[in-house]
Each structure stands twice: as structure tokens, then as C-alpha cells.
Structure 1
Amino acid sequence: MADKKGLSYKARRRWALVVLLIGLPLYIMVATVLGGLLVDYPVVLQLLVFVVLGIIWILPFKSLFRGIGQADPDAPKDE
């Protein structure tokens, strides 16, 4: 039976970099366009929309970014 561990540490690091360098700027552009549509609404509503949009982008990628800043657990240990 195949191991269901998921992506390796190196693959997660690469995908995290792709998300940050390509996906996040695209998401920022979409959020800015949506914010531009709210020009006639109160500032508090605009702020609320930007805060919600600023939080929800990370939810699908939460497991991808978990542990990325730590040492590679798959690397051989130096003795």
C-alpha cells in the first residue's frame, strides 16, 4: 500500500514559493478590483472586506506552509 504522507518537504517548499510569488500577487489584484467595486460603500465595510479577503487566501494553503521555515526533517542527520 502506498504511503499517504503527502508532499515531501522540498516539494512543499517549492509549491509555497510558487504560491507566494505567483498566486498571491494575482489574488491581490483580484482583491483590489473587488475593493474598487466598493467605492460607494462606507469605509468600515471596505475595511471589513479587505480584512476578510486578507485572511481567507491562506486557508486553502495552511497545510502547505506549515513547517516550511524549519529544518528539513527528511535531511540526513550529521553526527
Structure 2
Amino acid sequence: MALSYKARKRLSLLILLVGMPAYVVLAVTIMTALPRLPLWAEVPVYILLGFGWIVPFKAVFTGIGQPDPDAPAPPAQD
């Protein structure tokens, strides 16, 4: 199912405002529930967790910063 540009933009905003903070709380909660890792092992785990949320949402965020491709072209000015 292909989402329209407007739907992807709204979904990406929802993901960033609601999903991202929830993911951060979940990741920190999981890390505190585990036994304390040494610093050399803990840093890569946090880096993987930091980039791990991007993978499932890559298609939603692709092209969001670009102008709307479905919008009509503005009239040419002389």
C-alpha cells in the first residue's frame, strides 16, 4: 500500500512526536533492567538502539524534506 505524500508527512510527524519518545523510554527501561554492562559494551548497544528505530520507518521518511511531488506547479513568473 503506497501512502500519499501528505499521509507520509503526517505519519512521520506522529512517529517523531509520539513514537520516538516512547521508543527512548522503552530502550532505557530495557537497558536498566539488564545487568550493568561494561562501558565498552554499553556504548555500542546504545548506538545500535539509536539507529535501530530508523530501519522500519525508512520508507515513511524518504522524501519528506522535498517539495510535494503531487502539488501543481507554481505559475511561471516573467
Q: Give 1:75's aligned residue.
A: 71
* RMSD of aligned Cα (Å): 1.3
Distance 1:32 1:62 in 2: 22
How many matched pairs?
75
Q: What TM-score results when the alignment is normalised by the length of structure 1?
A: 0.87
Structure 1 residue ranges without an equivalent (≥5)? none
Query: Which residue of the partner structure matches residue 18 of structure 2?
Result: 22
Instruction: List 4+ stretches of structure 1 deviating above 6 A.
Output: none
User: What CA deviation, in whole Å up to 9, does each residue of 1:42-62 have, x standing for no partner?
Assistant: 011111110110111000000
Shift of 1:35: 2.0
Name the % identity.
Answer: 45
Shift of 1:38: 4.2
2:38 is aligned with 1:46:
no
- For residues 3 and 26 of structure 2, the distance between their equivalents in structure 1, rounded to whole angstroms, comes to 28
Higher relative contact order (CA 8 A, sep 6+): 2
Following superposition, the deviation at residue 78 of structure 1 comes to 1.4
Unaligned runs of 5+ in 2: none
What is the deviation of 1:40? 2.3
Deviation at 1:37, TM superposition (A): 2.9
